[in-house]
Chain A
Amino acid sequence: MGNQMEKLLDVCLEKMREEIPLDEILMEYPDQKEELKELLLIVRDMENIPLPQVREEAVASCLTKVSKALQSQKKQGWKVKLPRLQWPRVSYFPSPAWGKALVLLFIVILISWSTISLSGDSLPGDLLYSVKLTTEKVKFSLTTDPEEKAELRLTYSEERIQELVRYLDDKGKLNTEVLKAMLNEAALVTDNISRLPKDRAIPCCLKLEQLCAVHINILEDLKSKVPAEQRQELENAIQTCQHRMDWMGKVIRNEVPIGEWGPFVLNET
């Protein structure tokens, strides 16, 4: 019914536009005459209402604004348009945000990796030296196997002695902090060896013994380069290394049990 009225009303409106008198239109639809009449009268009234007057000043003001916008548009047309930097669209990702996140992640990884790599050659006092030590600590914390931990301690102890040599060459004096760190790293190896079964502990003891021998050789070479007032500290370090090497020999020969490390025991805690 509603649908029919919509159509009828539209037909009547078309006839009104053709300027057919209202009564004549309504005569064709006697059943809907009353309802249609009311609606058509509203339309007729609306169409007869004068339109709001447009003010000349308002049009003039509008033309001025438009003219300014037009000039600005024309000026822009002369400018060389630089291509906009756009993030690459990778079809594997559902939205460009994923692409951005991936690129940013890649940049962060690249920067971190470069920093860590550069810090490898740093010496105490350098800006990146703390990064180097932190990286070593993180790597050590992430390692769970005692044998691998012992290996890491040996590597770090070796790294410290390298730093000691380079520092001495650069600055002309012994860095006692690095010397202590070198000895500590070697001592801490024993803590990890204690947690290993005998068959895996003995090879580690051999490595530590060998490392101590290397340390002794290097430290002996450094004696001539170290200032006289620091020579005693070097002597003490050589002695410690000697004792540790001897003790490791006893462990390897089964003269003392694994876990009894004599005077140079150190615990992780």
Chain B
Amino acid sequence: MKLEKIIVQEELLEKARQLDEAAVSRLVKECYPFVFRYFYYRSITREDAEDLTSEVFVRVVNSIKGQKGYFPAWLIRISKNLLTDYYRKKGKSRETSLEEIQEPFSNSDRNEKDTLHPDDIRKLLDRLTDEQKEVIVLKFIEGNTNEEISRIMNKSIGAIKALQFRALSALRVILKKEG
């Protein structure tokens, strides 16, 4: 089980809100992988995902003083807005081909026992709706609980359970079709 759940301490957040450089720097380092993965699983190139992640943190710094509520939900909201702008700028090229975004993983990343390759996941997720994709990433890649996901996605826990069931069922159908 390799879940990397985002945990941000309130004390660190409070210092970051006062624009304490060390606190902001630590916050960026702790949250960077979470935000990067949010973009990475949206079928965009690694370079673009990195650029967008940097932009998210610049926006975080510019508005953290007034930040309220659940921090990961706020991060996702900023990321969503940026992603919408990104797709708008790219126009109809949202459907980036997988050849374009595939990248070699280090040998240590590859496990012979794995039935799915990291690129397979991106390919599969791309066939789901945005909400299904989001619930899969937040639950099974980021390791969030239903309650945390409901706060991030602003939905009831019941809706999250239904969404995760539909997302997994859709993945099962896709995998069966593709053999």
User: Which chain A residues have a beta carbon within 8 Å of chain B's beta carbons?
Assistant: 2-3, 5-7, 9-10, 13, 17, 19, 38-39, 41-43, 45-55, 58-59, 61-63, 65-67, 69-70, 73-74, 77
B12-32 residues at the A interface, CB under 8 angstroms: 19, 21, 24-25, 28-29, 32
Q: Is the CB of B109 within 8 A of A50?
A: yes
Q: Is the CB of B114 within 8 A of A49?
A: yes
**Known A9-B165, A45-B114, A62-B53; 11 more pairs at CB < 8 Å:** A10-B164, A42-B168, A46-B121, A50-B2, A52-B36, A53-B109, A54-B36, A58-B53, A65-B58, A66-B24, A69-B61
Q: Is the CB of B1 within 8 A of A19?
A: yes
List residues of chain B with CB within 8 A of the CB of A10. 146, 161, 164-165
List residues of chain A with CB within 8 A of the CB of B33. 51, 54
Q: Is the CB of B32 within 8 A of A59?
A: yes
CA distance A77 to B4 in the complex (A): 36
Q: How far is the CB of A70 from chain B (nearest CB, A)?
A: 5
Select the residue from A7, A61, A65, A74 with max chain B CB neighbours within 10 A: A65
Q: Is the CB of A69 within 8 A of B62?
A: yes
Q: Across the A-B interface, how many residue pairs have beta carbons closer than 8 Å?
A: 125
**Contact mask B88-120 → A, CB, 8 Å, 1/0?**
000000000000000001101111011111100
CA distance A59 to B130 in the complex (A): 27
Count of chain B residues with a beta carbon within 8 Å of a chain A beta carbon: 51
Q: Is the CB of A51 within 8 A of B19?
A: no
CA distance A53 to B45 in the complex (A): 14
Kindly identify which residue among B2, B46, B161, B175 contacts A51, using a CB–CB cutoff of 8 Å: B2
List residues of chain B with CB within 8 A of the CB of A74. 19
CA distance A190 to B109 in the complex (A): 107
List residues of chain B with CB within 8 A of the CB of A3. 162
List residues of chain A with CB within 8 A of the CB of B25. 63, 66-67
Kindly identify which residue among A9, A43, A55, A63 contacts B28, using a CB–CB cutoff of 8 Å: A63
Kindly identify which residue among A2, A45, A62 contacts B32, using a CB–CB cutoff of 8 Å: A62
